[in-house]
């Protein structure tokens, strides 16, 4: 059996007060990291329409942005969980931030070369850093305070994540999408030399936001060097009994939750990735990309509002029940988007963001609450499922190419149906309050 090491002075009131203060400070620091990777992730949604027009890509080709970014979660998540176990949370955060800074800076070089696949390579480096940060941040917030409020803490941190995703489209649209892009016919008419110059000029519009991000990430890393994390590494003591080896299929809720994270991230990313193109359609909003970007901000802003509200609601109502209601409403809104047109369809798809709000943290907590000392392994497995953001958008992009954007939303609809199923299966298994 494995037990957490006990401190003989843990019942001292002064020590408890100091530990609480340190824990609250750590929660605040780690929550800022959620803002960072939310901002970075959502910039992809602004890059997609820009790169699609710049390199005259199909929807499926453009979705390689998300495929590359979220493939890093599948490849890096498991090694990241090993990294946490060996070196602790602080070192893992710093390693993740260094990789993130390198990835952001690579965009400066990619913009000079103006080759699509060089952009994708930089995205993978950036995403690898973000993956390490997220694999560490999620379980850390579940162990740093009381178990009963783990879901609430994680939802609050996800609210700051959504603050980043809300601001990113506004800044990205102003700096990237405001640059005039030639039509496909105009691009075809350009000579090889003129095309290279045009692409280099257009690609340079992404440099400023990513240079700013590089500096911001470096500043955060420097600040974390001087911060001492309580519970930086879970200390365990072995008794005479041999600890039970972790086996994935001994934890059916974790398995179902992993599929749930795959479905949720895939649906959320797919909707956001194609939203600017969808809203710009003549039959929907009939507006330029730079204006459509504001509605993308509203989509992520809805998730932010929902998460701050949800961090309170889940302390009063069983998280699995809240998850089920949100999934059903999301299903309804996506179905109405598929059938609707004009501003009705626009409002429906933007409103989905509000009901995405509590899904990730709630699924995560429901899936890992019974793992005990295996929580880092569970986090690594769940974060591997974020690869749904690589797979689901690619499938939706392919369907959009062979049919239309409205029909393609059947893909996230199926994802929300599964999430509702998961919520029903975990009913009554929520955290004891």
pLDDT in tens, 189-228: 777 777 777 766 766 777 888 888 899 999 999 989 988 8
- For the four alpha carbons of 168, 332, 406 and 383, in that order, the dihedral sign comes to positive
The whole-number pLDDT of residue 215 equals 94
Q: Which H or E run includes 85?
A: helix 64-87
Do the Cβ atoms of 47 and 363 come closer than 8 Å? no
The whole-number pLDDT of residue 383 equals 80
The whole-number pLDDT of residue 260 equals 96
Give the residue extent of every domain in the chain.
Answer: 15-236+248-425
Q: Cβ neighbours of residue 429 under 8 Å, at least 6 residues apart? A: 253, 320, 366
The whole-number pLDDT of residue 5 equals 43
- For the four alpha carbons of 75, 79, 81 and 83, in that order, the dihedral sign comes to negative
The whole-number pLDDT of residue 393 equals 93
The whole-number pLDDT of residue 334 equals 98
The whole-number pLDDT of residue 236 equals 38
Do the Cβ atoms of 269 and 393 come closer than 8 Å? yes
The whole-number pLDDT of residue 329 equals 97
- Cβ-in-10-Å burial (0-12, 13-18, 19+) of 226 comes to exposed
The whole-number pLDDT of residue 199 equals 67
Do the Cβ atoms of 113 and 240 come closer than 8 Å? no
CATH class of 15-236+248-425: mainly alpha
Instruction: Compute the distance between CA of residue 125 and CA of residue 42 in angstroms, rounded to an integer.
Output: 16
Q: What is the pTM of this model?
A: 0.73
In sequence order, what DSSP letters do the residues of 125-170 get, joined into one string?
HHHHHHHHHHHHHHHHHHHSS-GGGHHHHHHHHHHHHHHHHHHHHH
Instruction: Compute the distance between CA of residue 100 and CA of residue 83 in angstroms, rounded to an integer.
Output: 16
Q: How do residues 265-309 score in pLDDT, each as one tens digit? A: 999 999 999 999 999 999 999 998 888 888 998 998 898 888 888
The whole-number pLDDT of residue 347 equals 96
Low-confidence residues in the chain, pLDDT < 50: 1-18, 234-243, 430-433
Count CB atoms within 10 A of the CB of residue 280: 20
The whole-number pLDDT of residue 2 equals 38
Instruction: Compute the distance between CA of residue 150 and CA of residue 138 in angstroms, rounded to an integer.
Output: 10
């Amino acid at each position: 059996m494995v037990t957490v090491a006990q401190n003989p002075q843990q019942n001292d009131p002064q020590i408890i007060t100091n530990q609480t203060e340190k824990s609250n400070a750590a929660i605040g620091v780690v929550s800022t990291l959620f803002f960072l990777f939310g901002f970075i992730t959502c910039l992809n949604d602004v890059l997609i329409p820009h790169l699609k027009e710049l390199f005259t890509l199909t929807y499926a080709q453009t979705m390689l942005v998300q495929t590359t970014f979220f493939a890093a979660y599948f490849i890096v998540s498991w090694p990241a969980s090993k990294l946490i176990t060996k070196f602790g949370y602080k070192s893992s955060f710093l390693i993740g931030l260094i990789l993130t800074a390198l990835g952001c800076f690579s965009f400066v070089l990619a913009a000079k070369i103006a080759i699509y696949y060089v952009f994708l390579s930089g995205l993978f480096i950036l995403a690898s850093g973000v993956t390490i940060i997220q694999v560490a941040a999620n379980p850390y917030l579940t162990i740093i305070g009381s178990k009963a409020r783990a879901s609430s803490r994680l939802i609050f941190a996800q609210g700051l994540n959504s603050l980043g995703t809300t601001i990113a489209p506004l800044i990205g649209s102003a700096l990237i999408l405001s640059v005039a892009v030639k039509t496909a016919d105009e691009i075809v008419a350009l000579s090889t030399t003129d095309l290279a110059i045009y692409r280099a000029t257009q690609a340079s519009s992404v440099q400023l936001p990513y240079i700013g991000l590089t500096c911001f990430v470096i500043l955060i890393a420097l600040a974390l060097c001087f911060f001492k994390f309580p519970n930086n590494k879970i200390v365990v003591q072995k008794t005479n009994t041999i600890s039970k080896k972790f086996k994935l299929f001994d934890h059916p809720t974790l398995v179902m939750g992993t599929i749930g994270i795959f479905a949720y991230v895939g649906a959320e990313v797919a909707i956001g990735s194609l939203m600017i193109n969808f809203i710009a359609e003549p039959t929907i909003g009939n507006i330029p990309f730079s204006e459509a970007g504001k509605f993308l901000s509203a989509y992520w802003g809805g998730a932010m509002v929902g998460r701050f509200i949800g961090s309170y609601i889940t302390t009063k109502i069983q998280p699995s029940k809240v998850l089920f209601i949100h999934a059903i409403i999301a299903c309804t809104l996506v179905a109405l988007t598929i059938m609707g047109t004009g501003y009705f369809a626009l409002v429906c798809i933007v409103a989905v963001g509000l009901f995405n709000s509590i899904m990730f943290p709630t699924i995560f907590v429901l899936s890992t609450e019974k793992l005990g000392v295996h929580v880092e392994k569970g986090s690594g497995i769940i974060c591997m499922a974020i690869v749904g953001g690589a797979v689901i958008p690619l499938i939706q992009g392919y369907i959009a190419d062979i049919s239309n954007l409205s029909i393609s939303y059947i893909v996230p609809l199926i994802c929300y149906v599964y999430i509702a199923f998961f919520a029903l299966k975990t009913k009554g298994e929520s955290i004891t309050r």
